[in-house]
């Protein structure tokens, strides 16, 4: 049974599928501080949060069973991603579910700003009939959109309907896409100099932090207005207050703050030209349901070891590519495990070669499985597909991937070679055979045909008559039953290998006795989990 902890208020309707799942128990415990979470987290397999819970390294350290952290929303700045990756915890978000809602909030803020709605409302309900609030139209105004991703693009579409001219900047915005959206591709400088309204829709990164600050405010049009429903810190708060005081900025609308919640004496809370909301961008019934449904679905997939999407600490993979790769995951992991068990020395380089059907797809997800297989020998369950590449890197294991080498007649072929620090190289290759499933088809230079399952004994020996008999007799005497056997050699009387599939683990002493038989050079156990 999987245990899921929901530590922020998340839509019940959205997490219904988790609550209905027969293999999942959901506990809702909101408002806990770090120490309280550290106390209870060890029993949970998954943690679901919005933005309130700060998922720190300390919490993950304590979360020994934690496999996934689901963020019901877009921004994952409340989750220590590096710590999660290090521990092999998948972090997923729900990137699409609140796009429209947040766009509408930004638009509502822009309109409220243009027409002083919050200020007028406050006066009116205090009993003052103040008709001095003079607004501006949006029509024919220039809107600068910084960050033309999901939300920025939706804002631009709506602004067009309001008759605004739109300047957009995003490092990934092409002329072609700008044209399609009916906006003008601009630079940040164009935007700050020419916009009547600026709205920011970027994540907070070292590059975007204070991307609007004193130098930008200094060149802005007098009377411009600015909106931030993205992340606190994209606009420099103190520089904004100064620009308002200098009469450069006529008004600002902020949903997000550099520190949330802001202190009671934060200047935004006492400036009549600044309107604020408490990070409500994503707070609609629809968005909260959407993000909770999306995240619950993926959490279930991860817990059940099924393919999933929206991982933040793993690169995205198109579903079509994932469908193609998925049948190879088990084979890949087993090839890695096989190669690792053939080696006794520390691995310095893992070379993976993909050929045939696999030569033209992005095989990175599959590589993660192979590296997991290799590293599992030493890291056990601490390694998974999230952290396998990271672990290889921090352990100075060079991972080299090549594609499109010879298929040797197979429609697909994965070869895994391990170079060890003594200069030795061991190679295992496998394929998925139509109707037969996964097969190991090559070990070092020897062709074989082995199902990578259960317990194997790998023997290297000299090709002499009688060896098979002596091995069979010794194993029989020790109650080790042989289910299948493969021998491989390149030349008669030369180096040879024997791979036996046996019914159970072979005791170490028996392997020792095998190596003492004449002409046997080595006997190793290979097991698949
Ligand atoms: N207020 C809220 O409640 C709320 C709700 C949802 C999302 N958000 C925030 O809104 C922001 C946008 O969300 P989204 O879903 O549109 O994300 P997105 O990833 O679709 O878009 C972000 C865009 O910013 C662009 N970008 C990155 N660096 C940039 C730079 N230096 N200059 C210009 N553009 C840059 C990216 O290329 C990307 O296209 C995020 O910060 C997200 O966390 C806030
Ligand atoms: O959970 C929230 O309400 C915040 C959502 C928003 O900031 C996001 O990044 O998705």
On average, the pLDDT of the chain sits at 93
260 is catalytic: yes
Task: Report pLDDT digits (tens) over 81-136.
Answer: 889 988 889 999 998 999 999 999 999 999 999 999 999 999 999 999 999 999 99
Query: What does the longest C-alpha to C-alpha distance in the chain come to?
Result: 108
Q: For residue 74, which ligand has an atom nearest its CA?
A: 2
Would 2-93+286-304 and 98-276 be classified into the same CATH topology? yes
pLDDT bin (cut points 50, 70, 90) of residue 366 is very high
**Ligand 2 site, residue 48, Cβ cutoff 6 A:** no
User: Which residue in 43, 179, 260, 505 is the catalytic one?
Assistant: 260
Q: What is the pLDDT of residue 345?
A: 75
Q: What is the residue with the minimal CA distance to atom 7 of ligand 2?
A: 75
**Ligand 2 site, residue 51, Cβ cutoff 6 A:** yes
Is residue 410 within 8 A of residue 356, CB to CB? The reply is: yes
Task: Report pLDDT digits (tens) over 339-358.
Answer: 999 887 778 899 999 999 89
CATH 3.30.70.260 fits 454-528, yes or no: yes
Q: What is the Å distance from ligand 1's center to 177 Cα?
A: 17
* Interface predicted TM-score (ipTM): 0.99
**Ligand 2 site, residue 282, Cβ cutoff 6 A:** yes
Q: What is the residue with the minimal CA distance to atom 9 of ligand 1?
A: 230
Between residues 295 and 203, the one the model is more confident about: 295
* CATH number of this structure's domain 2-93+286-304: 3.40.50.720
pLDDT at 381 over 70: no
CA dist., res. 224 & res. 352, Å (int): 56
**Ligand 2 site, residue 50, Cβ cutoff 6 A:** yes
Between residues 145 and 321, the one the model is more confident about: 145
Q: What is the Å distance from ligand 1's center to 394 Cα?
A: 31
Model pTM score: 0.76
Quick one: what percent of the chain has pLDDT higher than 90? 79
Index of the ligand 2 atom closest to the CA of residue 231: 7
Q: What is the pLDDT of residue 347?
A: 85
Is residue 371 within 8 A of residue 332, CB to CB? The reply is: no
**Ligand 2 site, residue 231, Cβ cutoff 6 A:** no
Index of the ligand 2 atom closest to the CA of residue 74: 10
CATH 3.40.50.720 fits 316-453, yes or no: no
279 is catalytic: yes
pLDDT bin (cut points 50, 70, 90) of residue 489 is confident
Q: What is the pLDDT of residue 84?
A: 93
DSSP codes, 347-416: EEEEEEEEEEGGGGS--HHHHHHHHHHHHHHHHGGG--TTTHHHHHHHTT-EEEEEE----TT-SEEEEE
DSSP state of 42: G
**Domain boundary assignment for the chain:** 2-93+286-304, 98-276, 316-453, 454-528
CA dist., res. 417 & res. 472, Å (int): 30
CA dist., res. 270 & res. 289, Å (int): 34
CATH 1.20.1530.20 fits 98-276, yes or no: no
Q: What is the pLDDT of residue 204?
A: 87
pLDDT bin (cut points 50, 70, 90) of residue 395 is confident
User: Which residue in 50, 116, 225, 231 is the catalytic one?
Assistant: 231
pLDDT at 434 over 80: yes
- Closest residue by Cα to residue 99 from 148, 55, 166, 38: 148
pLDDT bin (cut points 50, 70, 90) of residue 38 is very high
User: Which residue in 201, 225, 279, 461 is the catalytic one?
Assistant: 279
CA dist., res. 204 & res. 75, Å (int): 9
**Ligand 1 site, residue 144, Cβ cutoff 6 A:** no
Is residue 151 within 8 A of residue 102, CB to CB? The reply is: yes
Task: Report pLDDT digits (tens) over 176-201.
Answer: 889 999 999 999 999 999 999 999 99
User: What does DSSP say about strands 224-228 and 455-462: parallel, antiparallel, or unpaired?
Assistant: unpaired
CA dist., res. 338 & res. 329, Å (int): 14
**Torsion-angle region of 270 (φ positive above 0: left; ψ -120 to 50: alpha; else: beta):** alpha
Q: What is the Å distance from ligand 1's center to 105 Cα?
A: 14
**Ligand 2 site, residue 71, Cβ cutoff 6 A:** no
Q: For residue 109, which ligand has an atom nearest its CA?
A: 1
Q: What is the Å distance from ligand 1's center to 206 Cα?
A: 14
């Amino acid at each position: 049974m999987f245990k899921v902890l929901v530590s922020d208020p998340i839509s019940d309707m959205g997490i219904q599928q988790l609550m209905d799942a027969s293999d999942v128990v959901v506990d809702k415990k909101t408002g806990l501080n770090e120490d309280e979470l550290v106390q209870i987290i060890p029993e949970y397999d998954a943690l679901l949060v919005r933005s309130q819970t700060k998922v720190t390294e300390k919490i993950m350290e304590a979360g020994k069973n934690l496999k996934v952290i689901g963020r019901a929303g877009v921004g994952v700045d409340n989750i220590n991603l590096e710590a999660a990756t290090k521990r092999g915890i998948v972090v997923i978000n729900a990137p699409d579910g609140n796009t429209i809602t947040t766009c509408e909030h930004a638009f509502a803020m822009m309109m409220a700003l243009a027409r002083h709605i919050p200020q007028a409302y406050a006066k009116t309900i205090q009993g003052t009939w103040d008709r001095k609030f003079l607004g501006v139209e949006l029509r024919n105004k220039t809107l600068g959109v910084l960050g033309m991703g999901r939300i920025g693009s939706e804002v631009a579409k709506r602004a067009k309907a309001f008759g605004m001219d739109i300047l957009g900047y995003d490092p990934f915005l092409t002329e072609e896409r700008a044209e399609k959206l009916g906006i003008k591709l601009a630079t940040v400088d164009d935007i700050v100099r020419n916009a009547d309204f600026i709205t920011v829709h970027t994540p907070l990164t070292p590059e975007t932090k204070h991307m609007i600050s004193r130098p930008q405010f200094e060149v802005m049009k007098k009377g411009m207005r600015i909106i931030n429903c993205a992340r606190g810190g994209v606009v420099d708060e103190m520089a904004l207050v100064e620009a308002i005081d200098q009469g450069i900025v006529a008004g600002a609308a902020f949903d997000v703050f550099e520190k949330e919640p802001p202190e009671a004496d934060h200047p935004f809370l006492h400036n009549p030209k600044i309107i604020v909301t408490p990070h409500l961008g994503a707070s609609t019934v629809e968005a909260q349901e959407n993000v909770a449904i999306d995240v619950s679905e993926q959490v279930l997939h991860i817990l059940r070891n099924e393919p999933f999407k929206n991982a933040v600490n793993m690169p995205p993979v198109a579903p079509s590519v994932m469908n193609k790769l998925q049948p190879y995951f088990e084979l890949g992991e087993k090839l890695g495990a096989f190669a690792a068990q053939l080696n006794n020395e520390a691995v310095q380089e893992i070379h993976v070669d993909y050929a045939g059907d696999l030569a033209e797809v992005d095989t990175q997800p599959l590589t993660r499985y192979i590296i997991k297989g290799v590293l599992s020998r030493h890291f056990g369950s601490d390694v998974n597909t999230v952290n396998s590449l990271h672990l290889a890197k921090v352990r100075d294991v060079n991972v080299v991937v090549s594609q499109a080498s010879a298929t040797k007649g197979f429609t697909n072929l994965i070869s895994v070679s391990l170079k060890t620090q003594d200069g030795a190289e061991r190679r295992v290759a496998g394929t998925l055979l139509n109707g037969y499933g996964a097969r190991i088809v090559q070990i070092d230079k020897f062709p074989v045909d082995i199902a990578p399952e259960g317990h194997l004994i790998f023997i290297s020996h000299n090709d002499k008559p009688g060896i098979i008999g002596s091995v069979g007799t010794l194993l029989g005497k020790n109650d080790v039953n042989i289910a299948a056997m493969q021998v491989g050699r390149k030349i008669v009387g030369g180096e040879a290998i024997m791979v036996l599939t046996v019914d159970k683990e072979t005791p170490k002493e028996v392997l020792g006795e095998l190596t003492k038989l004449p002409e046997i050079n080595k006997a190793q156990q290979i097991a698949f989990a």
